[in-house]
Structure 1
Amino acid sequence: MSTETTASVSTHILDTSAGRPAGGVAVRLLARSGREAGWQALGGSSTDADGRCKDLPAPPEGTTHVRLEFDTETYFAKKQAAAQQDAPALRDSENGRPVFFPEVTIAFAVVPGEHYHVPLLLNPFGYSVYRGS
């Protein structure tokens, strides 16, 4: 049993449309203390070349919920700009947007002393998350 008074959070993003890590995705961490409390922005970072974001700040003591916000629209727009001209477009052709989900927001409950690794499996038209180890 841990004696830590705060939780810790990390994330990892894999771009399932490319079969590789998603580097350069901006990630923001927010926290709240109780279901009715407002969200407090704690800081942010970007994923590295391996798709990992290891340097998110620790939530403050008393945190009960954490929220991760991923800027997926910017990631896919940069990816499309770098793609070869004959590559398939990463567009929602019906609406002309670069991606269907311009951002991904994940909120989850935390317990002091636990580490929460939350991987995001991402593509332009869908995503999946789970509690990792």
Structure 2
Amino acid sequence: MPNEMETIIIQTLRPALHPFVIYLFGSAARGAMRPDSDIDIAFVSDGEPHDPYELFRLAGHLADKLGRDVDLVDLRQASTVFQAQVVSSGKVIDCCDERKRMEFEMKTLKMYAKLNEERAPVLKRIAESGSVYET
């Protein structure tokens, strides 16, 4: 059952963004928030990507309600590495379509594994040479 903070997040994001999944990540997901911690929230929804200004305003609205700064991330617009971090270490606080959530998470982790395979030779060369630049 969601706590008060999660309930406010869910009740604010559902009508505004129509997400099929909402994640908490960072210190809020780990239960390690300090007085100066912000609240990191990620979501995935169908349809067109959300306008960054709309997300900025919505994050401000949530910050007012929660009394803390809020980072609000549309995971469809985030990097593969960031998506994988949220999917693997974030906390699902709301999901209205388990199938879509599972498909998104499987696709994300598959893309992350492929990225790691593709960059392995580059990372190996950097580790061996001690430099990012070729000499």
TM-score by length of 1: 0.25
Q: Is the strand fraction higher in 1 or 2?
A: 1
TM-score by length of 2: 0.25
Q: Is the helix fraction higher in 1 or 2?
A: 2
Q: Larger radius of gyration, structure 1 or 2?
A: 2
Q: Which has the higher contact order (CA 8 A, sep 6+)?
A: 1
